[in-house]
Amino acid sequence: MSRLKNKVIPLMIIFFNMIIMGMVMESAYFIEGFKHTEIMVFALLPVLMVLGFLGTLKGENNYYRIGFFLLGAVSAYFLYQAVKTIDLFQIPSDIAVINATIMDGLSIQFTDFLNVLKVMMLTGAVILSITLYIFPYNMVILDMGLLLFLWIVDYYGNTYEYARFFVPVWAFSLLFYRTTLVDQEAKVLKVNRNRRLVEAVVLTLIITIGSAFIDIETKGVYSDRLFNYFNGQVVPQGSITGASIRDPFGIAMTGYNDSETLLGGNISINEEEVMRAFGEEPIYLRGTVRTEYLGDRWARDVIEYEPNGSLSSEKAAYYERLTVNEDLRRIEIRPIAEMTSNLFSSIYTKEVSFSNNLALLFYNDERSTYTSNKTVINNYDITYFRENLIEDHIRRLPKNVRASDFYMEYGPYLQIYQTLTPRTVDLVNSLVDDSMRNYEKAEVLTNYLRENYSYTLTPGNLPENTDFVDYFLFEVEEGYCVYFGTALTVMLRIAGVPTRYVEGFKMSEEAIDGEYIIRNSDAHAWTEVLIDEENDIWQIFDATGTPRELIYGEEPEDEENQEGEEGVETPSETPETEVPAQEGGTDVPGQSPEEQKIEQTRRNVILLILGLLLLAVVSRAAYKKARLQRMMSSGSLKPYFREMLKLFSFIYYRKESGETYLEMAARIKDEEIRTQMETLVTEVYKEEFSGEPGEFTQRVEFYEDVYGIVKDYRGPIFAFMKKHFL
């Protein structure tokens, strides 16, 4: 069997590799009812058949050859029976069903994928087994091809846990081929293949443990840009309209009422986590911008998006001058749930980029909004200019003189509806006048709303045929961000200030390990005001807070007023309250169940690898000790002599070319050691040439003496490792 050992192991690696490929496919396509046993035979039988063929040709004796022949014949018979179950003509219709299922967002059943998986396992195992000894690295190429395919078609994002299993397989196979096939060709080197195999196992464990700590989901902005550029070259991009966006963001996705249907009404917001953000500071994350107010709702804007992911070069250069070339800020958005096609961004975003997704990136320059043509499930990066630097600079600019075409250019942002009441107009005119700059009017009206209206999630429904802003300002006088944001937007338009109503998220300070936690209670609506008409610069004005800030977070300063609000209850625990650990104590506050499961799996894998590594180390030490004991008590001196030659090589005594072992021994400087070595060589010669067993009674003493010299020469750590492990 020793002649077949170096051929059996690679074949077994192929089998395990094909099983991992099946697991990756199951995870990538969310295949339900997956049965590994039904496809496992298509990976195992070709391997056994090839093994039987090799054993028949290279078996050590006839008994081995007959056994391997039977193995190959039985495997071939069962493989033939298994192949008959594949319906090749059904595969095109199966693929059509899979594609239709994916497009409809439905679950893929194992039966739909069965024929495809059978063919995949069979062809992969056959090709790899046959070409193994022609080009042994085909397996790595095949795996990389599968991962590249899944990455291109956007089914790679959830497979990284299974894809990690490829790492030890690749590492071991590459190291194994390097230490067997190459060494086999270079027989003159007389390489110790058993030792090389142990080294391959140890290095594989080290590589695997190291890979377990790599955060595959963390992506660099430059790799994102490279992918977006490549994607833009391969897939031609055309403009899209808001109507064609698959899942346009609306605040109703987070528990609010739909502002496109009817504004206001009682709501209940939960604390479910929807996103995480990794950045330097909390910011406003803009989702949807609305401009047309219809009295009781906001109309959906059907705007056009161009294939682009960055700000125009002119405006970017202007922002850079305002910020005096200060470094850009960067924040990475990490979606937890599939929610929207819109890409959340800062009001002063320079660029948005994402990768591992075939979805395309689009940008509307007028609204400064970003979107994709499909639901975003991958992380994406935002680079932006700091808001306070731009706003502080613009406040110092001289007052602009409006051009004659001002109202034509910003007309949509000055639109008001026929339901507007005179008392609303009178209220605005009593608070501001035309001598004020835009941001001054915005500050006055924002402070007025903050100081005179209360926050509640239960303001009641809007009566029919009633203007929403009028009802809020003069009737109910309380509400949540949709009330405040809509009122501020309309009031500023009455004052002649272009404004737009925005829905998105206002990030809180809650963070875990540098990641900000974004929940449904952070969903928010606010107003953006044009403060620099000449350069089209807008600024956020917010008249109220989020549910997390005013209801689910810290107690408001006015506790009596808060307790008096009907329908508002302050939970006894804040979101930051420590979450009780589940059985086993593996829960981490702020982590979703899926993240906890992934983290637990990672810990289990690391513990398993560490356990295997420890077992390998202990086993190697036990093997070395037993081997040394056998050498000391063996009837032959040859194994002991080879071990002593290895010890002497550590102190740089080696037999030179054309030199005998006695001549090598004569060069040893220490007289006692030299005498013992000459005696040992003489006895080995006697055993080698006369056939009589050699006698050397001081094996243990001589070994310890030379080992002591090795410790002096090379250090105790080197000597210890060589004696017990290497």
For 222-262, how does the pLDDT look when each residue is reduced to its tens digit (9 = 90+)?
444 444 444 444 444 566 776 667 788 989 999 999 999 99
pLDDT of residue 478: 96
DSSP 8-state code for residue 281: S
Among the residue ranges 118-127, 388-397, 511-520, 540-549, the one predicted with the least confidence is: 388-397
pLDDT digits (tens, 9 = 90+) for 483-495: 999 999 999 999 9
Neighbours of 194 (CB within 10 A): 11
Residue 200 pLDDT greater than 80, yes or no: no
pLDDT of residue 161: 56
Amino acid identity, residue 718?
A: F
The more confident residue out of 280 and 229 is: 280
pLDDT of residue 525: 96
pLDDT digits (tens, 9 = 90+) for 711-722: 877 777 777 777
pLDDT of residue 176: 67
Residue 574 pLDDT greater than 60, yes or no: no
Residue 95 pLDDT greater than 60, yes or no: yes
pLDDT of residue 194: 59
Band (113; pLDDT cuts 50, 70, 90): confident
> DSSP strand E in 514-569: where?
515-519, 523-532, 537-541
Band (519; pLDDT cuts 50, 70, 90): very high
Residue 636 pLDDT greater than 60, yes or no: yes
Band (407; pLDDT cuts 50, 70, 90): low
Band (206; pLDDT cuts 50, 70, 90): low
pLDDT of residue 5: 59
Q: Which residue has the tokens 């800030």?
A: 549
Overall average pLDDT of the 321-348 stretch: 85
pLDDT of residue 522: 94
Cα separation of 328 and 283, whole Å? Answer: 14
Residue 214 pLDDT greater than 60, yes or no: no
Give pTM, 2 decimals: 0.51
Residue 507 pLDDT greater than 80, yes or no: yes
Cα separation of 554 and 557, whole Å? Answer: 9
Band (648; pLDDT cuts 50, 70, 90): confident
Amino acid identity, residue 158?
A: N
The 3-state DSSP composition of the chain as helix, strand, coil percent (nearest 5) reads 55, 10, 35
Residue 178 pLDDT greater than 60, yes or no: no
